[in-house]
Amino acid sequence: MNEFTKSVPPIGKIFLLIGIGGILFGCGLFLGAAVTTILTRSAPRLFSSGPTGSALNHPAPLGTAVLAGDLQIQVIDTVRPADDVVAEGNLFNPRPSPGNEMMLVTISITCRPAEGDDVCIFAPALDFFLISPIGVHRPEWLVSGLPDLLMGGEMQNGETVSGDMVFEVGEKEFGLILVYAESLGSEVAYLEIP
C-alpha cells in the first residue's frame, strides 16, 4: 500500500471516487452534447433548384464564389495526394491510414457582412466538412508547419483570406463536396471538389 492509500479513510476514498466519476461523467456529457450539436445542427440539403451552391445536387463549380451569410466562399484548388506536403510541415502531423491519402483544399473567403456589421468570424475546423458517397470528413485540426494553412478568426469588412485545409480521404474516393455550415448560424453552402 502506498502512503496515500493509508492516509485516506475508506469513506473518503468512496467520496473521492464518486467525485472523480462525476467530473468525468459531466465532461463526457458536455463534450457529447457539443459534438452532437455541431454534427446535427445542419443536415445537408440534398436538392434545390435555387442558386448554385445551394444544395448537394447543385454545388458551385471550382472557381465559382458562393455567398453564405456574411462570407463569400470559393474553392481555388485541390492537391491530392498531399501526404508528402503534410508530412514535411511537421514531424507530428497526421499520416493517412492504409488506403487513404491526405488532400489539401485551397479556399478563398471574403467578408461581406450585412449592414451595420464590421466583421465576420469563421472557424475552419467547425464550419467546413467534406461529403462523399462514402461518408463525411472533418478537416484535420492538429496540423502545423504548412505555409498556407487556413486559420480562422475575425475578418474586417471587405477583407479576403485564403489558405489550405487538410482532409484525409480514401485514395479512390471521388465525388467530394465541400460543405460550409455556419457554426453560429444557419447558413450553408456547397462547393464542388474536382
Check residue 70 and report its DSSP letter. T
pLDDT: which is higher, 112 or 18: 112
| Per-residue model confidence as pLDDT tens digits over 42-72 | 455 565 566 888 888 889 999 999 999 899 9
| Per-residue model confidence as pLDDT tens digits over 165-179 | 999 999 999 999 999
- Do residue 35 and residue 78 come from a single domain? no
- Do residue 74 and residue 144 come from a single domain? yes
- Do residue 15 and residue 106 come from a single domain? no
| Domain contains 78 | yes
| Domain contains 50 | no
**Is residue 100 predicted with pLDDT exceeding 50?**
yes
- Do residue 71 and residue 145 come from a single domain? yes
| Domain contains 53 | no
- Do residue 34 and residue 72 come from a single domain? no
Q: What CATH number does residue 148 fall under?
A: 2.60.40.1240
What Å distances lie between residue 157 and 81, 109, 171, 188, CA to CA?
35, 12, 39, 20
| Domain contains 158 | yes
User: Would you call the peptide bond into 147 cis, given omega within 30 degrees of 0 as the criterion?
Assistant: no
- Is 132:138 a contact under the CB 8 Å cutoff? no
- Do residue 95 and residue 160 come from a single domain? yes
**Is residue 109 predicted with pLDDT exceeding 50?**
yes
- Coil, strand or helix at 128: strand
- Coil, strand or helix at 11: helix
CB within 8 A of 64, min separation 6: which ones? 52, 53, 74, 191
- Is 79:62 a contact under the CB 8 Å cutoff? no
How many domains are contained in the chain?
Answer: 2
Judge residue 178's burial from the number of C-beta atoms within 10 Å of its C-beta, 0-12 exposed, 13-18 middle, 19 or more buried.
Answer: buried
| Domain contains 104 | yes
Query: First and final CA of the chain: distance in angstroms?
Result: 63
Report the C-alpha gap between 129 and 13 in whole angstroms. Answer: 45
Which three cell numbers mark 115? 449592414
Q: Domain of 102?
A: 66-192
| Domain contains 51 | no
Which three cell numbers mark 136? 463525411
**Is residue 123 predicted with pLDDT exceeding 80?**
yes
Amino acid occupying residue 170:
G
- Do residue 11 and residue 89 come from a single domain? no
- Do residue 16 and residue 80 come from a single domain? no
